[in-house]
Chains A and B, each alone.
Chain A
Amino acid sequence: MAEAGTTLRTFYIVLGLIAVIGIVLIVRAATSHPSAPIVMAECSGPPLGGPPAVGHVLGPDSAPVQIDEYSDFECPFCARFAIVTMPDVRERLIPTGKVRWRFMDFPLQGHTKSPVAHVAASCAADQGKFWEMEDALYGDQNTWVEEKNPEGKFLEYARRIGVNTDSFRVCLQERRPWPRIEATRCLGEKLAVGGTPTFFINGRQLAEPTLAYDDLTRIVDSIAALAAARTPAKRR
């Protein structure tokens, strides 16, 4: 009986040790490699020497019409535009050479998952897959927005679109592109972007934020026609 008592005592000690070691490992996992926090800076004075606000570009630099789209990955209107209109823009409008399209990161205050989604898109952009990631983020917006930790979803999208997940994971966890995103967001704030999506066509903010493809082509065609008319006049 005494032997059984000793055995049980030893067993409880071992069990306690397993519990303590396990808890320590879990706590370390939860705290030792956290993804860097994202803090939205005040845009009153962007730091000197920071990255430029370049956005993500489709179309030739020589295009007569430049459209800047300030967009937020958590915004449902942006998702609708990306799903309904953007495929036509990419497949029909961009190939005409009339438009240079820039996606400008504009994560809104209060959209808590949006900053990391923009980081994920820019990390994919570093591997030449921004537009594929944009499709994934907007196409599956309802899912990742509900996730408490959407980074796993972003990794899943990265894998699906053929991004190298090892470097993507590091980029995402270290928030490497965040300064670029901040620069773009601050540029938007300077331009008085109040909501998303907001479009600028050749620098002029469009009053109608819900842009349909037909309206867009009408505007683009008229500007392109004007530009074409001016070019021969200059040559004369």
Chain B
Amino acid sequence: MRHRMAAAGLALIGLLVSIYLLLYKVGVVGSLRCVGSGGCERVNTSSWSSFLGVPVAAFGVAGYLVLLGVAMYGLRADQLERPRATGWLAVLSAVGVLFSLYLLALELFVIHAVCLWCTVSGVTILAIFVVSAAALRRPSRAPAP
């Protein structure tokens, strides 16, 4: 149960970060709060900040919403003993980790700037994967009645 709680909390943090980045991309947030000399803005205004014509941050919002939904579903009383939700969390977050690695490679080798908020999102998705994969190896037990 605790790993699903952790996954839900992390997914919520990732969702909030993605919403912030998406609002910047669509012009609602005027400038990003970022450490360093504008790496966040450089990354988020580059041509790589959209994927298939959709802002990358929108994929983040959608992905974290799904992860949050799966984690919350897994916390239902009838799902606590079943490993399916944890499996889905592991699979979906693995896809997210791969996508984050692709974005990190773009930042380091193509855009030559690192975006703090994108890194926070990358670490978050990695943490969800680690938590879920660890729980899959050691299935959680429902509390004793």
Give A contacts to B, CB under 8 Å: 1, 3-4, 7-8, 11, 14-15, 18-19, 22-23, 25-26, 29-30, 33-35, 147-149, 151-153, 155-156, 159, 165-166, 169, 173
Given contacts A26-B16, A30-B23, contact A3 B31 (CB under 8 A): no
Given contacts A4-B143, A22-B16, A29-B20, contact A151 B42 (CB under 8 A): no
Given contacts A7-B1, A26-B20, contact A149 B27 (CB under 8 A): yes
Chain B interface, >50% SS class? loop
Given contacts A8-B75, A26-B23, A165-B37, contact A159 B42 (CB under 8 A): yes
Q: What's the minimum C-beta distance from A5 to chain B, rounded to whole angstroms?
A: 9
Give B contacts to A, CB under 8 Å: 1, 5, 8-9, 12-13, 16, 19-20, 23-31, 33, 37-38, 41-42, 44-46, 75, 80, 142-143, 145
Instruction: Count contacts between A and B, CB distance < 8 Å.
Output: 84
Chain A interface, >50% SS class? helix
Are A18 and B38 within 8 A (Cβ)? Answer: no
- Besides A19-B16, A147-B45, 17 other CB < 8 A contacts? A1-B145, A11-B8, A11-B75, A14-B9, A15-B9, A26-B16, A30-B23, A30-B28, A30-B29, A34-B30, A148-B25, A148-B26, A152-B24, A152-B31, A152-B44, A153-B45, A159-B42
Task: Kindly state the separation between the CA atoms of A1 and B142 in the bound complex, as whole angstroms.
Answer: 9
* A155: chain B residues within 8 A (beta carbon): 38, 41-42, 45
Task: Kindly state the separation between the CA atoms of A148 and B28 in the bound complex, as whole angstroms.
Answer: 9
